[in-house]
A and B are shown apart, each in its own frame.
Chain A
Amino acid sequence: MVELKNITKTYRTRRGDVQALRDVNLRIEKGEFVVLCGPSGSGKTTLLMTVAAMLRPTAGSVCVEQRDLYAMSIRDRAKFRARNIGFVFQMFHLVPYLNIVENVLLARHSPGGLAGGPSAADGGTEAPKEQGAEELLRRFGLAERASHKPAELSAGEKQRAAMARALFNRPRIILADEPTGNLDPANAESVLGHLSEFHRDGGTVIVATHGPAAGRFADRVIYLRNGGIEKAG
């Protein structure tokens, strides 16, 4: 469960303060598929980063799985993020010098995994870890591309690789920021299908987008404008 209470986020810039989020209150249940919709600058990404334990709000609290994220130390927050949250970005953010399997393995963290790759309890040796990554890549239709570098992949393949990385550590929640923004309709459908599959398996999905496509998969669509919730569907 994700709960945001009275979240305000103000960016201080040279030209003055910019309020990205204004007193946002939001509750997302475990296993829900939520789409955050709104024009550029509406605060979608800021909201996502706040839930991701990467951006401390100026005011308010964020609880994920009954834990107040910003009451934790930076170190604990990083651990919590590694164990519980997977990310998918519009620009994929694959590490250019690692091949696809290695990019997936970059997400590997020993304690507290949920699904996907083998956890520390599985032994945590290099061989099962690699097997887990390769299995995941097979599920995403990237088995043949496992040893390729990101530069050698199409945009759709890159996003699927990023999806595999997000799922590898068996997270409870997937946060996706414009995951289909750089993809053609077929690849966009494929990525949303994978997110939907994760959701069907009991995972929580929060997608920030300004396109309508993700809405078909969502339990709820929340519209943001000028840093506030305009309409919660």
Chain B
Amino acid sequence: MWGMSIVSLILKEICHRKVNFVLGLLAVMTAVALFIGFFTAGAASERETARLMLSMGYNMHIIAKDADMGQFLMTGIADRTMPEQYLTKLASQKTISYNHLLATLQKRISWQGLDVILTGLAPEVSPPEPQGAGSKKPPMSFEIKPGSLYLGYRIWNTLGLNQGDRVDIKGKTFSIARRLAESGGVDDVRIQCHLRDAQEILELPGQISEIRAVDCLCFGETDDPVALLRKEIGSLLPDAQVFQTKAIAEARAAQRQMVRNLFAVIMPFTVIACGVWVGVLAIMNVRDRQQEIGIMRALGHGSGRIALLFLGKAALIGLLGAALGFLLGTALAQYFGPGIFKLTAKIMIKPELALLIISLIFAPVFAAVSSFIPAMIAVAYDPAVTLREE
């Protein structure tokens, strides 16, 4: 074995030329921090999108073909019903793109002197997750137990009803499970119950008035998601009509696209710039160490060992840069992410530990690749020339 180990030589050289090391570290840290920052904030942005979708509601609506579309658009209630089996038929098709499906039965009724909307909600249907994909998607709507009611603000406030009170609707007794907060919208005059209960109250067994869906189609520039879905559903449910609340879908697509665009523009530029930065620093380091390389050559040290001095140093810079960049990137995402990605306080930006592992693997490789040419220059130095230059 050689008298001095490679690691020992690398560490001693780093201590001797601190500025070169710190500048290299800064380069890798910058690249990793931006990568981590964007991905961490991007992941939070995806969660924000999901939250927005919950608050904005469903963006695909399927109603009976003979329902009056104009009335539906004005009131949000379809005047015709369709068989409940449509939902299971739709959900069981593997070719249909959807994220959430919800069957509802709605009708305006008069109750205790108030005009209200009775809404029956079936348990939400989500596509089966691929094996090992983790937990099922959380439901976007309430899951109401049979015999229970969720009352809108204006209803319980006007009638002085409390949670746990028992009330009758058309001869059927319910327990008030929840009093909903004021929404300032139609939900304030809504009574929500299980679909079975609504079907019983409205005497429409096995019928639903609407299937609501969150689509999972890509919103590329040339894609027409509505046409695609209409085509898919049209062949499956010939007695239904499909339409989309475009603003919601477009807002969602725009948010996803914004993250991708930012990432696509900034990351390659940053990675290339930081790679060049690391490479230039390595070249400067090689030039500073010409005579040292020459004497090592003269003492019989081989090309591999000399290349390792530089590649090993680069890998060490990459490893440390990855760890520090992860901390910095996470901190940046937490500080600037909410502003850039329009995140609300409800969405926590959490450290993405998987990204730390990715960085710890790829940053040393990235730094070593950036230092490859300088290392080869070092290997190619002719000791007879460098040792003569006095």
Instruction: List residues of chain A with CB under 8 Å of any chain B CB.
Output: 45, 49, 52, 54-55, 74-75, 78-79, 81-83, 87, 89-91, 93-98, 102, 104-110, 124, 129, 133, 165, 169, 177
Contacts and interface: CB of A to CB of B under 8 A. Distances in A.
Given A54-B383, A75-B302, A93 B295 contact: yes
A106 B4 contact: yes
Contacts of A83: 300
Given A49-B384, A124-B1, 14 more contacts: A45-B388, A52-B298, A78-B300, A81-B300, A82-B301, A87-B295, A87-B299, A93-B298, A97-B15, A97-B17, A104-B3, A106-B295, A106-B299, A133-B3
B390 interface: yes
A102 B296 CA distance: 13
Most chain A CB within 10 A, of B3, B298, B301, is at B3
A25 B24 CA distance: 50
16 contacts: A49-B387, A49-B388, A54-B297, A54-B387, A74-B303, A78-B300, A89-B390, A95-B292, A96-B16, A97-B15, A97-B16, A102-B3, A106-B2, A106-B4, A106-B295, A106-B296
A54 B384 contact: yes
Given A54-B383, A93-B387, A96-B16, A87 B1 contact: no
A78 B3 contact: no
Contacts, number: 84
Contacts of B296: 106
Given A91-B390, A96-B16, A98-B12, A106 B3 contact: yes
Contacts of A82: 299-301
Q: Chain B at the A interface: mostly helix, strand, loop or mixed?
A: helix
Contacts of B3: 102, 104-108, 129, 133
B270 interface: no
Contact of A79 (B4, B292, B300): B300
Interface in B1-55: 1-4, 9, 12-13, 15-17
Contacts of A102: 3-4, 12
A93 B294 contact: yes
A110 B300 CA distance: 11
Contacts of A95: 292, 295
B126 interface: no
Contacts of B4: 98, 102, 105-106, 108
Interface string B278-302: 0000000000000110111111111
Contacts of A79: 300
A92 B196 CA distance: 94
Nearest to B13: A97
A233 B387 CA distance: 28
B387 A110 contact: no
A173 to B, nearest CB: 13
A141 to B, nearest CB: 22
Nearest to A104: B3
Contacts of A177: 387
